[in-house]
Amino acid sequence: MNMPDAQTLAGWMNPEQWKSWMANPDALANVQLPGAALLREAGATVKPDVLETLKNEYMAEFGVLWQQFLEGKTPQIRDRRFAAPAWTGNPVTAFSAAAYLLNAKFLVAMAEAVEASAQQKQKIRFAIQQVVDAMSPANFLATNPEAQQALLESKGESLTRGLKNMLADMQKGHISLTDDKAFEVGRNLAVTEGQVVLETPLFQLIQYKPLTDTVKQRPLLMVPPCINKYYILDLQPASSLVRYAVEQGNTVFIISWRNPDATLAKTSWDDYTEKGVIEAIRAVQEITGEETLNLLGFCVGGTLLSTALAVLAARGQQPAASLTLLTTFLDFADTGVLSVFVDEPQVRIREQALAQGGLMAGRDLASTFSSLRPNDLVWNYVQANYLKGNEPAAFDLLYWNSDSTNLPGPMFCWYLRNTYLENRLKEPGRLTVAGEKVDLTAIAAPAFVYGSREDHIVPWTSAYASMNILNPEERTANRFVLGASGHIAGVINPPSKNKRSYWVNDERPEDPEQWIAGAVEHPGSWWPLWAAFLAEHGGDDVAPRTELGNETFKPVEPAPGRYVKEKAD
C-alpha cells in the first residue's frame, strides 16, 4: 500500500482549500473521502452505501468545523499531541489539528468498513494507522506551532540543535528515546549483587547474593526473553523484580542470553531449549541440591521455558515446583497487531534468507516493535528532539528498549513458522524439539499466569489461554492475574511505587471474557500476590548459602557479567 504524500493530505487541513470548496457546491459534491483513493490502490473495497454514509457524516462534521472556523471559535481538541496553548491559541493551528483528527477518524472508519478477511483487514488497518500517525501536523516544522515558537524564542538555536540531534541519531541508526549517557549496565542498571556461576557460548547464569536471614528451600530460576536483554527484570533497585524476589527470601538465578554474533548464526530453537534453558535448570539443581525449582519465564522466555519443561516431561523429568509466565504466548491463535508482519510469503522470505544461518538484526526487530506504537516511540521524539531541539530525558526503561539484541536466523525462522504462523506448539505431539515430542499439557506444575490489559504484543486474552493448556489435571491450582498498562510497564510495577492496579478472580472459566466479567480490581502492584505464590511452593525456610556457585560451578565474574554488555551490530 502506497502512502499518500504530505501535499495530498495537507489539502484536507488547509482552510483555503475548504474556503474554495464551500464557495462551490458542485465541486464539494465531487470531494472524495480522504484515503478513498488509497484503499482503491490497495484493492480494498467498501460497500457503496457504507461509503456514502461515511462521506455524508464526514461532510456534515467538517461543515460544523468549518463554520466554527469562520466564526472564530476554537474547536475542542482532546488529543495530548495538541494540548499546548500554541495549538489552541490560534484559530488556524487549531483548525489544522481538528481537521487532521477528523480525517484520521474517517480514515480509520473506512479501514474498519473494508470487505476483507480478518488478516487482510488487520493489515489495512495497520497501514492506515501508520499513515494517520505519520501525517500529523505535529510532525512537521511548517505545521507545528510549538516548534515554530521554539525557533523564534531561541533565535534559531532550536533548529540547530534539532539538526545536530538528527545527524547524531543517523550515525547511531535509531532515534534517541533517552539520554544514553545517563545509564550504564553494571553502574546504575542491573546492580543487584551476584556472580556469574556458569558461562556457555549461549548464555551466562547469574546467582544473586541472599539478602534475608532465611531463604526458601527451593530456588527461583528466571528465564528472560532472548529478544531483549535480561536487565528489564533488574533495572534500578527500586524497580527490580530480581531484587524484590531476593528480598522476599528466594535464592534467585537468572539467564543472561548472549547477544548473538556470527559464531551463533546457526543456533536453533532446539539449541535455546537444550543448551540454554535445560542446561541452566540442571546447573541450578546441582548448585542448590534441589530437584524441583520455582521457574519464571517472561515473554518469549516463557515460551522457551515451557518448551523445555515439555521436553523434560517427555524424558520423565518434572523439575518445576511452580511455573510463572509473564505476558507469554503458548497459544498463538490471536497475536494481535503483530500478525500484520507474519504471513506465509513474509515467513518464506525470512526462511530463504536466514533458515540455514545468519542473524536477524536487532535494529530491525527494534524498528518493528516501535512501529506498533509510533506516536509514543517515534513521532513523539521526532517532534521533541528534531523539531524543538530538546535533549531526551533520562528514562531507564527506554534505555533498555533501545539496547537491542540480534537473533540467530534458524531460531527466529523456526519461531515464526511454528508458533506465529502455524500455532503448532499448543498441539500435543505436533512438534519435535531436542528429540522429544512436545506436549505442554504434560508439565505437572501449578502455574501463575500474568497478562497486561493494554498489552499490544501479547494480548491479555492470549496470555489467559495458557490457563487452558497448562496443568489440566490440576487446573484449579493455576492462577491468573491481570495487570494494568502494557507489555513492559504492567510487569515492572513494584509495590513501592503504589501505581496502577490489577484484577483477580478465583474462578477459572475457559473464556477470558467470562473471567474479566467476574474479576475484582485492586489498587497497586500484583507483585505481592506472586511472592505469596512463590512462598507457597518454595518449601521450608532454610539458612541461605553464603558461597555462590559450588566446586563445579565456580564464580566466573561479578554480575551483571559481560554478555549483557555486548551491543548488537
Residue 159 counted as domain residue: no
Alpha-carbon distances, residue 77 vs 94, 99, 138, 149, 548 (angstroms): 8, 10, 14, 20, 58
DSSP-based three-state secondary structure for 506: coil
- The confidence band for 521, taking pLDDT boundaries of 50, 70 and 90, is very high
> Residues 54, 130: one domain?
yes
pLDDT for 38 equals 54
- The whole-angstrom separation of Cα 252 and Cα 237 is 15
Q: Residue 134: count other Cβ atoms within 10 Å of its Cβ.
A: 17
pLDDT for 35 equals 54
Q: What is the dihedral of CA 205, 180, 500, 247, to 10 degrees?
A: 40
pLDDT for 18 equals 44
> Residues 509, 441: one domain?
yes
- The confidence band for 42, taking pLDDT boundaries of 50, 70 and 90, is low
432 φ/ψ angles, rounded to the nearest 5 degrees: -115, 125
- The whole-angstrom separation of Cα 67 and Cα 506 is 55
Residue 400 counted as domain residue: no
Our CA angle for 78, 82, 87, nearest 5°, is: 120
pLDDT for 319 equals 98
Mean per-residue pLDDT, 191-196? 98
Q: Is residue 241 within a helix (H) or strand (E), and if so which, with residue range?
A: helix 241-247
**Sign of the torsion angle spanned by Cα atoms 141, 145, 150, 152:** positive
pLDDT higher than threshold 60 for residue 467: yes
Mean per-residue pLDDT, 480-498? 95
Percent of the chain with pLDDT over 70: 92
- The confidence band for 373, taking pLDDT boundaries of 50, 70 and 90, is confident
Which residue range forms the structural domain that includes residue 234? 194-340+415-565
- The whole-angstrom separation of Cα 112 and Cα 82 is 25
Residue 423's nearest CA partner among 470, 471, 465 is: 465
* DSSP for 127-183, written as a single string: HHHHHHHHT-GGGSGGG-HHHHHHHHHTTTHHHHHHHHHHHHHHHHTS---S-GGG-
pLDDT for 37 equals 56
Mean per-residue pLDDT, 381-395? 93
Residues 332/468, Cβ–Cβ less than 8 Å: no
Mean pLDDT in the chain?
90
Task: Find all residues with CB under 8 Å of 335, minimum gap 6, and list them.
Answer: 329, 342, 420, 459, 462
Percent of the chain with pLDDT over 90: 70
102-146 pLDDT tens trace: 989 988 888 888 888 877 888 888 888 888 899 899 999 999 999
Q: Which residues pair with 256 in a beta bridge?
A: 204
Residue 369 counted as domain residue: no
pLDDT for 67 equals 87
Residues 235/396, Cβ–Cβ less than 8 Å: yes
Residue 303 counted as domain residue: yes
- The whole-angstrom separation of Cα 224 and Cα 413 is 20
Q: Choose one of 98, 129, 152: the last residue of a domain.
A: 152
Residue 171 counted as domain residue: no
Mean per-residue pLDDT, 226-238? 96
270-309 pLDDT tens trace: 999 999 999 999 999 999 999 999 999 999 999 999 999 9
Retrieve residue 204's grid coordinates. 551466562
> Residues 26, 93: one domain?
yes
Mean per-residue pLDDT, 456-470? 96
> Residues 207, 117: one domain?
no
Residue 410 counted as domain residue: no
Retrieve residue 206's grid coordinates. 547469574
Q: Choose one of 121, 152, 183: the last residue of a domain.
A: 152
pLDDT higher than threshold 50 for residue 31: no
pLDDT for 217 equals 97
Active site residues per annotation = 299
> Residues 19, 144: one domain?
yes
Number of domains within the chain:
2
Our CA angle for 549, 565, 268, nearest 5°, is: 80
- The confidence band for 39, taking pLDDT boundaries of 50, 70 and 90, is low
- The whole-angstrom separation of Cα 411 and Cα 263 is 14
Retrieve residue 464's grid coordinates. 489467559
pLDDT higher than threshold 70 for residue 157: yes
- Per-residue burial over 359-372, b if 16 or more Cβ lie within 10 Å, else e, is bbbbeebbbebbbb
- The whole-angstrom separation of Cα 470 and Cα 443 is 7
Q: Is residue 308 within a helix (H) or strand (E), and if so which, with residue range?
A: helix 300-314
> Residues 123, 203: one domain?
no
Mean per-residue pLDDT, 255-273? 97
DSSP-based three-state secondary structure for 395: coil
Task: Find all residues with CB under 8 Å of 236, minimum gap 6, and list them.
Answer: 188, 189, 191, 396
pLDDT for 34 equals 52
Residue 333 counted as domain residue: yes
- The confidence band for 193, taking pLDDT boundaries of 50, 70 and 90, is very high
> Residues 207, 322: one domain?
yes
Residue 250's nearest CA partner among 324, 359, 346, 148 is: 324
> Residues 131, 206: one domain?
no
Q: For residue 465, what is the DSSP state?
A: G
- The whole-angstrom separation of Cα 502 and Cα 21 is 51
* DSSP for 59-114, written as a single string: HHHHHHHHHHHHTTPPPP---GGG-SHHHHTSHHHHHHHHHHHHHHHHHHHHHHH-
> Residues 434, 514: one domain?
yes
Our CA angle for 562, 564, 569, nearest 5°, is: 100
- The whole-angstrom separation of Cα 414 and Cα 301 is 15
Residues 207/282, Cβ–Cβ less than 8 Å: no
pLDDT higher than threshold 70 for residue 10: no
Residue 245's nearest CA partner among 206, 199, 276, 280 is: 206
pLDDT for 563 equals 98
Helices (H), 468-507: none
> Residues 139, 236: one domain?
no
Residue 332's nearest CA partner among 303, 353, 292 is: 303
> Residues 219, 325: one domain?
yes
- The confidence band for 371, taking pLDDT boundaries of 50, 70 and 90, is confident
pLDDT for 323 equals 98
- The whole-angstrom separation of Cα 197 and Cα 177 is 34
- The confidence band for 268, taking pLDDT boundaries of 50, 70 and 90, is very high
pLDDT for 127 equals 84
228 φ/ψ angles, rounded to the nearest 5 degrees: -140, 175
Q: For residue 185, what is the DSSP state?
A: B
> Residues 125, 273: one domain?
no
pLDDT for 337 equals 86
Retrieve residue 474's grid coordinates. 490440576
Task: Find all residues with CB under 8 Å of 393, minimum gap 6, and list them.
Answer: 178, 179
Q: Residue 48: count other Cβ atoms within 10 Å of its Cβ.
A: 8
pLDDT for 128 equals 84
Alpha-carbon distances, residue 11 vs 135, 140, 349, 355 (angstroms): 12, 15, 38, 46
Overall pTM surpassing 0.85 (yes/no): yes
Residues 176/165, Cβ–Cβ less than 8 Å: yes
CATH number (domain holding residue 462): 3.40.50.1820
Q: Choose one of 125, 152, 179: the last residue of a domain.
A: 152
Residue 438 counted as domain residue: yes
